Structure 1
Amino acid sequence: MSSEAIRPSTLDGIKRLANSIKVERGIKHIPALEVAAQLAGFQNLKHAQNVLKNGGNRPNARPGHRVYLTVYWRDKESDTRGRETLAIWLGTLWSDLITPAQLDHHRALTHFQPEGPDHLARRDMVQSQAQARRAICAAARTLQFMDTTKLRPSKSHSRAFPAGRSSNAVPGRDHYSIWYDRESKRYLFADEPYEPAVESRAAERAAWSEHHGFDIAKPSWPGMYNPDGGSRLYLIADPTKGVPLAPIVAALDRLPAPIVEATWDGESAPSTPIFFSPGTIARNEAAAKLPATETRKVTRGPRSTVGYVQTFVGPQRRPKGRMPIEVHAQVGKLLKSVLATSYNRKGVYNRVNGIRSELDEWTQREYNHAELPNEQFFELYYHESGSSFARTLSPDERTLHVGSLEQVKQILAQHYPDSPPLRALMKKLDASIGSMQTWSS
């Protein structure tokens, strides 16, 4: 029996397992201890020591599914950097609660992306350790809300308003979000204003409720947005066409106190090496054990491309060869300049965002961590500074951004061989250019 089938529940058991792994894999003792701790269900050896020395149980003894949330940070003033990771428990797999594409439908999840079957991480670096923790806590609260209510975030805002019009929305709304029930096909409006602000408009909100016939309920669970800062959750829905509020309130009221920065119990670590969750490690090791015939199915293809496997997507291909890191940085700068001003032009923003995501994937395959340190990698295509939410651009601004996208096309054509993946990327760039040119002023 392979040692990987063993699930130790004590520190001595982890040490014994590490001795076996060291022999089986031919690795040194410390890395073997880290692997053994993760196979036991912990984040790493330090996490195992902290839990088991204090009389805690092995994490996997608990029912449910664990998900790791990771954010990397860099404080430019103090020239310090690091990683924050928090493990939370859900009643179901995170991927059964929300699709990767739907992560963009809620403010707390929009910058996260899948890194493994049990891991979500932000691909941009935030500006401080505190900001990283706040981002993780907000994402954790949102996942807990979804896990408890089984609702999914939605961008169909009009479905939750009286008569489908945003002008009819409840007075004093703030930090709101729209939620959808997949089974009943009904919607719910979650409003999270600060308590003093909503109290000053209580009579106005009550009159609105009576006029439109909408129910308003306030769970004792304070909510997702900023519960330790004074925001409070109100649930609003049409009693006949919307999500029934009573079962949602009852479910939320059974939740423990919200996860907040003040009670942080996650892991704070250096930014390198990059964190891999237990589920990610297990998936990668299973892929490595595939028969040669299965591996060839992934890598077979034209001479101008190379095969790879992308998380939650499957076998993919990229152009063969690699673009210099400094050129990736140049392309990233051009794309980020377009993204910073095109948020309200979705024909540009969504396509360019997809282009940078794909180039980010190619970069990961072209360079290892020794060649491209983690913090440098994050800066290539993400972590743009500031965004403009302009509704229009001047002709000169549009011409400038069209020129940036044309320059990206020229650079990619210069450094990558002609191939289906490159042509697909060029097609997206052409569509982005066309949308930018027709953006009326």
Structure 2
Amino acid sequence: MGTNNTEGDVFTLSTPSGKELSFPHVKASVGPGGIDIRKLYAETELVAYDPGFGDTGSCESKITFIDGDKGILLYRGYPIEQLSENATFPEVSYLLLNGELPNAEQLETFNGDLRKHTMLHEQIRNFFNGFRRDAHPMAMLCGTVGALSAFYHDGLDITKPEDRELSAIRLIAKIPTIAAWAHSYSQGSPFVYPRNDLGFAENFLYMLFALPSDPTYKVNPILARAMDRILTLHADHEQNASTSTVRLAGSTGANPFACIASGIAALWGPAHGGANEAVLKMLAQIGDVKNIPAFIQKVKNKEDGVKLMGFGHRVYKNFDPRAKIMQQTCKEVLGELGIKDEPLLELAVELERIALEDDYFVSRKLYPNVDFYSGIILKAMGIPTSMFTVLFAVARTVGWVSQWKEMIEQPGQRISRPRQIYTGAPKRDFVPVGKRG
């Protein structure tokens, strides 16, 4: 195909034979629009080739907007900086689900609905016994969430708005309990039940760390606020791999529990949800501030296995707006816990300073992302690295559910079915085994 140009609301493309084709311009409220190429194959017998879908708009969405060049992240139009500073995670969850921030009455009702559904069916305790004690918490989370439809048969008619709403509330409320129980099971600790007198993040930390033998245990409010902020920062991030997986599964009409389990499975990949753990491993590998220059040189020399983790992002080509908030949260948590000389933080700060002054990284737009400081925070709070991606899933559940719900409710929704460009053998005849060379 030749060059393209815009003519009003239409793009025209010319084929090598000189035929001109017109495709509608899909306008966006903010950011880049697109070209509607749904008739491309019918008109040309060609498909758009875009490995990894980096330049393909798979859907229209009103939930999250990212401007990677300017470092902007908006939930339903609200900057992430304002939400993380002023709103609670349940407020942000309501916003993502419904499109507007709740008033006081709506928030009270929403919090009440979440509390009502934090408990798990008691037989799910027995379900956990099917896992080995050394099973990864993500395996337990993925398996248990996928099995929820076996425990909650009602509310699964996705054609009914009330069923979609019930499923959304159940997932947001129950996944923190499943996550906490996965942690307890792997540690050999007793399961701790949720409490209705605690806030969302506070309740999650309570289930992670409290013991039935200590009725006086209280969650530190500074740590609860930090966890609330972490959940908000990770709540949604547009059409990433796990969200796209949820939408793909949801397009088949699969039940919402199965759809979210598919998102958890995609998140488990180290290239997606395991980056903050990789940052800790990198800092441990460096070991000391004096070793940073040598490490930086190895990165620039592209030595095998040496990578600068926690820098750069598939979308952001500027500062990840979440990273600055996470850095401040890290200082607050370490200060509250009395950790004044945290070697990892000292390493992180110095590594960030050196990298941001090096033309090699600046010219490649490799700036700190949200994962750079989050691992240090979680480690300081006593959360094992095996739980880092689980926490990510707890936060991202509301984004997945919001995206799933939006997709189901969009007119003309159809099953997702990407095309391919086949490069294998052409048609050939079968040869009996005795005649093969």
Taking structure 1 as the reference length, the TM-score comes to 0.24
RCO higher in structure (CA 8 A, sep ≥6): 2
TM-score by length of 2: 0.24
